[in-house]
Amino acid sequence: MVFDEKVIEFLSTGDFKYQIKQYIEKYNDLIKNSNFLRKEFNHYHATTVQKNLLDNGFFKAEHTINMNMKGVKTEITSASELSKLIDEEKNKILSDIHLQKIFQTIDKKISNAQLREFRDYLFENQDLLIELENIQNLKKKVWLSYLQQHSILYFNLIKEYKDGQVELKKIIKQANEEKTDWENVIDIFNRRFYVPYTLRMSNKSDSVLRDEAPSVEYVFKDRDENSETVSEEILLSILSQGETRALYLLNIIFEIECRRKQGLQTLLVIDDIADSFDYKNKYAIIEYLKEISDSENFSLVILTHNFDFYRTVQDRINTDKFTQSYMAVRNVDSINLINPGYKYISNPFGNWKKDLNDKVKLIASISFARNIAEYVGDKVNFNKLTSILHKKDNSGTLLIKDIESSYKEIFKDMDQLVLNDPDKYVLDVIFEVAEQLCGESTETGLNLENKIVLSIATRINAEIYMISKIHDPSFVSKIKSNQTGKLFGRFKNDFSNEAESIKILEKVNLMTPENIHLNSFMFEPILDLTEHHLKDLYVNVKRLIISEEQSEMFAATTTESYDH
């Protein structure tokens, strides 16, 4: 009979235990009146003795036993005589009418279909009921009985286990001493990445001997060097996005290291792997990628939307910077892959300085020059160059030679600078170049300088238009910073009904400032903007000015006619 979990659960219920208790109490009362059975030597024990005597040839050896039958000694000379005596005594007890009623009550309790097999077994083996008072003890007896029946197999197993203990300990010791692939990956991660936890492999020997997946522990250390192990679930709930992405690199590094170890030819495509990383971890993954790129079996294709990451990869990984680096440039109806050139990307101003007589590069460089003047505290040249980037009272009077003199003072290596057309007005040059760029139908490169010039020209036109419409010189003269934004705020307040103009000017406020205040941290806004978007914006702002001029001319003509 197999005692499964459902049977054990049933036997443990309160009602059934009560019925068993009644049965055992009645059984013990009956056994007191037995000829030779007692509570300490019941029919189960008697049957066990009978079987042992039979199995060991006791009666065949012509031995006899004396039974105390209510104080009278009775000699038993054969196995059959003993068996008959025990069966008669057992049947007399188990057939008792009161005991049978209790058994029937128990039977009703276990009539469930799932327990039918157990119920049928009890019908055939009612003597088992007295053993159900203590389930754990019954289990123990069953196991001992099983082990006794299979003692040879059991002792062989024990012997094999003991014989293998010494060798097993040696294998486990060797497994713990070997550096596994996963342990190597964890070392790489702990060594390279800056996160507020340390990784540790907790089942090293099992991962070696049983081919189990490695179990990684996450250990936090506080400022007092106290460490605490936390679960992955808790870890992911408290990490920043960048720290979480760093953790996911663990499996990627493992795959890479396995392929390196096997010498497999591998094309590795990395897509925005450092997104949300802080600078320390961004450089850490770049250094790891550099190490991989030096492996002869690995070829890397690195994709990114992050311009700073792109430039850093060029500086640290790209061995042939002029031929292996590309940027996707979106035109009106296509996307082109272009090679911008390493120096142009890492230092565009250095590229422009070589050819400042190119009007596009000259105008684009003004934003850099003004920032340098501000950083070094050169207020005179800062204000002068600001008047080129914003519409000020003196903006229309500044000449190309004014830029030349400012550059000679700001940049120590430009004392020999000579610019063409020194007496040409700077605003005229800005608008001429913008018109020229708008006339070109295609884009051939990144053209940072083109986008900067279009942004400058567009913003100046927008300020000219807003200043003309607001028509409040006192208000304009008091603006000391963020001029475009403050003009736009006043314009929206004064001309809230001019929805189309507000829409266009809002785009100017959104699209142009970062392009003009260009530095190493502000490349991405201008790279995300296509040149044709800036051209469209320039044309739309220009139309606002033309429309305003035409309205003023019409108003003047009407007044003149009225006067006549």
Using one digit for the tens of pLDDT, what is the confidence trace for 110-120? Answer: 555 545 565 55
From CA 421, how far away is CA 429, in angstroms rounded? 10
Instruction: Look at residue 532 in the predicted model and tell me its pLDDT.
Output: 81
Residue 357 scores a pLDDT above 90 = yes
The 3-state DSSP composition of the chain as helix, strand, coil percent (nearest 5) reads: 65, 10, 25
pLDDT digits (tens, 9 = 90+) for 66-80: 888 888 888 889 988
Question: What is 247-273 written as a DSSP string?
Answer: HHHHHHHHHHHHHHHHT--EEEEEEST
Q: How confident is the model at residue 147 (pLDDT cuts 50, 70, 90)?
A: confident
pLDDT digits (tens, 9 = 90+) for 50-69: 888 888 889 888 899 988 88
Q: What is the mean pLDDT of residues 264-277?
A: 84
Instruction: Look at residue 37 in the predicted model and tell me its pLDDT.
Output: 79
User: Helices then strands (H, E): number in the chain?
Assistant: 27, 9
Structural domains of the chain sorted by starting position, each given as residue range(s) with its CATH number in brackets:
5-132 (no CATH), 181-319 (3.40.50), 344-553 (no CATH)
Instruction: Look at residue 1 in the predicted model and tell me its pLDDT.
Output: 47
Instruction: Look at residue 178 in the predicted model and tell me its pLDDT.
Output: 52
Q: How confident is the model at residue 11 (pLDDT cuts 50, 70, 90)?
A: low
Residue 563 scores a pLDDT above 50 = no
| Among 463, 494, 459, residue whose Cα is nearest residue 476 | 463
From CA 302, how far away is CA 464, in angstroms rounded? 45
- The token duo for 143 is 């196991």
Mean pLDDT lowest for which of 78-82, 234-238, 482-486? 234-238
How many other CB atoms sit within 10 Å of the CB of residue 121?
Answer: 16
From CA 400, how far away is CA 423, in angstroms rounded? 6
Residue 407 scores a pLDDT above 90 = yes
Mean pLDDT lowest for which of 233-242, 290-299, 364-373, 446-455? 233-242
Residue 410 scores a pLDDT above 90 = yes
Residue 556 scores a pLDDT above 60 = no
Q: How confident is the model at residue 10 (pLDDT cuts 50, 70, 90)?
A: low
Alpha helices in 263-399 (DSSP H): 279-293, 307-316, 342-346, 348-353, 359-375, 379-389
Q: What is the mean pLDDT of residues 507-517?
A: 77
Inter-residue contact 470 to 534 (CB < 8 Å): no
Average pLDDT, the chain: 78
Q: Greatest CA span in the chain, whole angstroms?
A: 160
Q: Which residue has the higher pLDDT, 531 or 446?
A: 531
Instruction: Look at residue 275 in the predicted model and tell me its pLDDT.
Output: 72
Angle between helices 97-109 and 14-32 (to 10 degrees): 160
16 CB-contact burial (10 Å; exposed 0-12 / middle 13-18 / buried 19+):
middle
Q: How confident is the model at residue 351 (pLDDT cuts 50, 70, 90)?
A: confident
Q: Which residue has the higher pLDDT, 104 or 89?
A: 89
